[in-house]
C-alpha cells in the first residue's frame, strides 16, 4: 500500500469511468443473468462479498428489491446464508478474485446455483466454474486500495435494475463530476482536511439508499491513514451515533439526501459538532463541497466518496515516512 500511488489511482477515476461507459454502450455485461431473471428461470439473487464489495452489493440488492426482485447482499463469511439452488443466482464479488471468504461462499453455490463472478482479475480463482464472468474494468489499483474497483462495482451492479443504456449515461456524468472535483481540489481540499483532522476520528453519515458511500469513506480513513472512523445511516444516526457528540470532538462527513438530515443536524448543532456536507447544503454545516451534477442522487452515489478519499490520501501522505 502506498499513499502516492493511491492518489494516482484516484486521479485516474474519470478516464476509467469513461472507458467503462464505452463498454456499457456495447451491451449488457450481465445479459446471461438478466435474461434468466426476465424469463423466470431465476427468481432469487444473492450477492456475496466482503468489505467494499459488500458495501456496493448492499445498494444493488436494495435497488433490485425496489424493482420487485428477491435480492439480498450477504457477508461471504456468514455461516448461516441463503442456500444454493437452481433458481438462485449467486453474484460473487471480489476485486482481486482471491478473497478466501468469498471463495468459500462460492464453493457452496458452484454447480448448484447460477454463478456470476464480478472481478477486476479475469482468470482469478473466483471465476473458476462461474457461469458468467463480468470484468470490473477498473485497471490496476497500484496504491493497494479498492477505490476504482468499488466505484466500478457499483456502476456495473446498477445495470441489473436500470439496464446498461441508462447506466452508461450515468457513468459519463459521474466521470464529469469526478473530474470537476479533481480539477477544483485547490479550492476545497485543504479546508476539508483541516475540518476532518480531529483527535477522535472521522464519522461518515449517508442515507440508506447510499449507505455504501458512508461505509466506503470510513474504510478509506481506516485503511490509508489508519484513523478511527465509523459509518452510520442518517436515520439510524439518532439512535446509535448521536451519543458520541456529547463526549468527543465529533467531526463528520454528511452525504445529504435523507429525509432525516435535519434530525441529525439538530443534535450536531446543539452539541457544537462539526460537519462537512458533500454534494449538498444542510443547516448547521461548517463547510460544504459541491460538484458538477451533484443534484442527481445516482451521480452522487458513484462520485461522492472521492471527497473523503482525497482527504484520506492527504492525511496518509502526511503520515508516510
Per-residue pLDDT, 319: 81
Q: What would the pLDDT profile of 140-167 be if each residue is shown by its tens digit?
A: 999 999 999 999 999 999 999 999 999 9
Q: What would the pLDDT profile of 38-84 be if each residue is shown by its tens digit?
A: 999 999 999 999 999 999 999 999 999 999 999 999 999 999 999 99
**How confident is the model over 176-185, as a mean pLDDT?**
98
**Residue 156 CB neighbour total at 10 angstroms:** 26
Confidence of residue 89 (pLDDT cuts 50, 70, 90): very high
Cα–Cα distance for residue pair 165/101, rounded to 1 Å: 33
**How confident is the model over 91-111, as a mean pLDDT?**
97
Q: Is pLDDT at 320 greater than 80 in this prediction?
A: no
Which domains does the chain show, CATH number per domain?
3-171 (3.40.50.10490), 184-319 (3.40.50.10490)
Q: Which three cell numbers stand for residue 93?
A: 464479488
Per-residue pLDDT, 321: 64
Cα–Cα distance for residue pair 85/113, rounded to 1 Å: 5
Per-residue pLDDT, 1: 81
**How confident is the model over 77-94, as a mean pLDDT?**
97
Percent of the chain clearing pLDDT 70 (strictly above): 99
Amino acid at each position: 500500500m502506498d499513499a502516492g500511488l493511491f492518489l494516482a489511482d484516484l486521479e485516474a477515476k474519470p478516464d476509467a469511468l469513461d472507458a467503462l461507459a464505452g463498454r456499457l454502450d456495447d451491451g449488457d455485461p450481465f445479459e446471461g443473468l438478466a435474461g434468466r431473471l426476465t424469463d423466470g428461470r431465476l427468481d432469487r439473487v444473492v450477492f456475496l462479498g466482503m468489505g467494499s464489495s459488500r458495501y456496493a452489493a448492499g445498494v444493488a440488492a436494495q435497488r433490485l428489491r425496489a424493482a420487485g426482485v428477491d435480492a439480498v447482499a450477504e457477508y461471504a463469511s456468514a455461516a448461516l446464508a441463503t442456500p444454493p439452488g437452481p433458481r438462485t443466482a449467486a453474484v460473487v464479488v471480489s476485486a482481486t478474485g482471491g478473497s478466501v471468504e468469498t471463495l468459500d461462499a462460492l464453493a457452496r453455490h458452484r454447480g448448484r446455483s447460477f454463478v456470476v463472478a464480478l472481478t477486476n482479475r479475469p482468470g482469478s480463482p473466483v471465476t473458476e466454474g462461474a457461469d458468467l464472468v463480468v470484468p470490473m474494468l477498473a485497471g490496476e489499483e497500484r496504491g493497494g486500495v479498492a477505490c476504482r474497483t468499488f466505484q466500478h462495482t457499483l456502476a456495473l451492479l446498477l445495470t441489473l435494475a436500470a439496464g446498461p443504456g441508462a447506466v452508461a449515461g450515468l457513468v459519463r456524468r459521474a466521470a464529469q463530476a469526478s473530474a470537476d472535483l479533481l480539477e477544483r481540489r485547490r479550492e476545497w481540499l485543504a479546508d476539508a482536511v483541516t475540518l476532518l483532522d480531529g483527535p477522535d476520528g472521522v464519522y461518515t453519515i449517508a442515507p440508506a439508499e447510499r449507505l455504501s458511500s458512508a461505509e466506503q469513506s470510513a474504510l478509506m480513513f481506516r485503511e490509508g491513514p489508519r484513523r478511527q472512523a465509523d459509518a452510520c445511516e442518517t436515520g439510524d444516526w439518532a439512535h446509535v451515533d448521536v451519543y458520541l457528540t456529547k463526549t468527543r470532538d465529533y467531526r463528520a462527513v454528511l452525504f445529504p439526501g435523507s429525509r432525516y438530515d435535519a434530525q441529525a443536524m439538530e443534535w450536531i448543532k446543539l452539541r457544537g459538532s462539526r460537519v462537512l456536507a458533500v454534494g449538498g447544503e444542510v443547516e448547521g454545516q461548517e463547510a460544504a463541497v459541491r460538484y458538477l451534477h451533484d443534484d442527481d442522487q445516482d451521480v452522487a452515489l458513484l462520485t461522492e466518496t472521492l471527497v473523503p478519499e482525497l482527504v484520506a490520501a492527504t492525511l496518509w501522505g502526511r503520515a508516510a515516512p
